[in-house]
């Protein structure tokens, strides 16, 4: 059979998330390798003009479902959006467009809805893919397992496939300044029933105004080597100069020095920023599991045998209380802030 790809991308308040450009670019690349077409789907409001601009990433058609219209069908008052309803919209649209390959960004939202879409469309499913290519007409997806300690390549049985793409891994590629055509999808045509609104998000609470580690391009993390919560101003000052997010090891989160949302690692967040600076962190295997795919790693630790140095691109052996202020000052000089 001939293939067709549907790429689901997220928009919020009329704007696309970064992950949207990554997914569209990857859909374009895969479509090229398979010699097939792809459509883009988004659910949002006031997103039409931005949707046109996805043409720059190679999209020719963007299907838009109006979020307010969709929410109007929810049985819960005050629905901002509903995961199962999103899943239904994606599954129905894939069937309507004759798409057998679905790509979804592996964000908190994407990972929640994708397993449902996989069952609804009877697709083979890979969550959290980090590399994708076609080989003799078959899709091969690479996925980290055992907390990133190894990778597996998967081949799918059957021609229906659904894959979520880990954010921040695939590169957005602008291919020109073409405009995509935008087509509104009528929610009336999507067979939605009460059952599709079995849960609803009533509120999204932003944990703080601070940048989250999961979204940051630069992260400065502190560990037990900083001796106490009062010394995290070292981490915060450095992060401030770099416009970075602050992260933490589990040891300091468990000790109550830092909030859980900052924890990087196996039981915290998985991150792959372009620069990760680890201060007073030993580099236990569970910490590495969350950050070893960072593009550049700087470690500051007084123990030259600390495991963190084995994966560091640049390591500074010595006392963080001396090094970090000097490092911050040097950065201020070159960054001019």
Cα separation values, 222 from 74, 82, 280, 301, Å: 43, 36, 6, 10
Contact stretch for ligand FAD (CB under 6 A) within 64-72, 124-132, 233-241, 258-266: 258-266
Cα Rg of the chain (Å, integer): 22
Residue-by-residue DSSP string for 285-319:
HHHHHHHTT-SEEEEEES-TT-THHHH-SEEEES-
Q: Binds 223, which of ligand FAD, another protein, none (CB < 5 to 8 A, cut-off by type)?
A: ligand FAD
Q: Are 173 and 28 in contact (CB under 8 A)?
A: yes
Q: Is 17 in the site for ligand FAD (CB under 6 A)?
A: no
Q: What is the footprint of ligand FAD within residues 120-149 (CB under 6 A)? A: none
Helices 233-242 and 320-335 sit at what angle, rounded to 10 degrees?
Answer: 20
Classify 158 in phi/psi space as left (phi over 0), alpha (psi -120 to 50) or beta: left
By CB under 8 A, the residues from 68 to 87 that bind another protein are 76, 83-84, 87
What residues between 207 and 226 interact with ligand FAD by CB under 6 A?
223-225
Beta-strand pair 15-16/275-279? unpaired
281 binds ligand FAD (CB under 6 A): yes
From first CA to last CA, the distance across the chain in angstroms is: 58
Count of residues interacting with another protein (CB under 8 A): 95
* CB closer to another protein, 54 vs 218: 218
- Among the residue ranges 1-9, 55-63, 70-78, 317-325, the one whose residues contact ligand FAD (CB under 6 A): 317-325
Q: Which is nearer to ligand FAD, 97 or 263 (CB)?
A: 263
Site stretch for ligand FAD (CB under 6 A), options 49-57, 129-137, 185-193, 263-271: 263-271
User: Would you say 84 or 223 has its CB closer to ligand FAD?
Assistant: 223
301 binds, options another protein, ligand FAD, none, Cβ within 5 to 8 A by partner type: ligand FAD
CA atoms within 13 A on the CB side of 293: 23
């Amino acid at each position: 059979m001939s293939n067709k790809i549907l790429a689901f991308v997220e928009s919020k308040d009329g704007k696309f998330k970064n992950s949207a450009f990554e997914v569209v670019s990857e859909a374009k690349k895969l479509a090229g390798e398979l010699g097939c077409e792809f459509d883009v789907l988004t659910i949002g409001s006031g997103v039409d003009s931005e949707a046109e601009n996805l043409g720059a990433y190679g999209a020719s058609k963007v299907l838009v479902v109006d979020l307010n219209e969709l929410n109007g069908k929810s049985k819960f008052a005050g629905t901002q959006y509903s995961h199962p309803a999103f899943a239904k919209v994606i599954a129905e649209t894939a069937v309507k467009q004759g798409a057998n390959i679905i790509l979804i960004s592996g964000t908190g939202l994407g990972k929640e809805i994708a397993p449902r879409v996989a069952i609804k469309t009877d697709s083979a499913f890979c969550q959290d893919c980090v590399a994708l290519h076609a080989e003799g007409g078959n899709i091969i997806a690479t996925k980290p397992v055992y907390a990133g300690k190894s990778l597996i390549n998967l081949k799918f049985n059957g021609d229906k496939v659904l894959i979520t793409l880990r954010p921040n891994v695939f590169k957005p590629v602008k291919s020109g300044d073409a405009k995509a055509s935008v087509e509104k999808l009528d929610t009336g045509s999507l067979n939605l029933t009460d059952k599709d609104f079995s849960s609803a998000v009533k509120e999204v609470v932003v944990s703080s105004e601070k940048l989250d580690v999961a979204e940051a391009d630069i992260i400065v993390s502190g560990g037990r080597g900083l001796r106490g919560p009062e010394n995290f101003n070292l981490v915060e000052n450095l992060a401030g100069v770099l416009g970075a997010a602050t992260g933490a090891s589990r040891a300091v989160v468990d000790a109550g020095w830092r909030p859980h949302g900052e924890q990087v690692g196996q039981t915290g967040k998985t991150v792959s920023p372009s620069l990760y600076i680890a201060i007073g962190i030993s580099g236990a295997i569970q910490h590495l599991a969350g950050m070893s795919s960072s593009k550049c790693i700087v470690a500051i630790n007084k123990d030259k045998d600390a495991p963190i140095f084995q994966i560091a691109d640049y390591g500074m052996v010595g006392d963080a209380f001396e090094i970090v202020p000097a490092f911050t000052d040097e950065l201020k000089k070159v960054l001019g802030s």
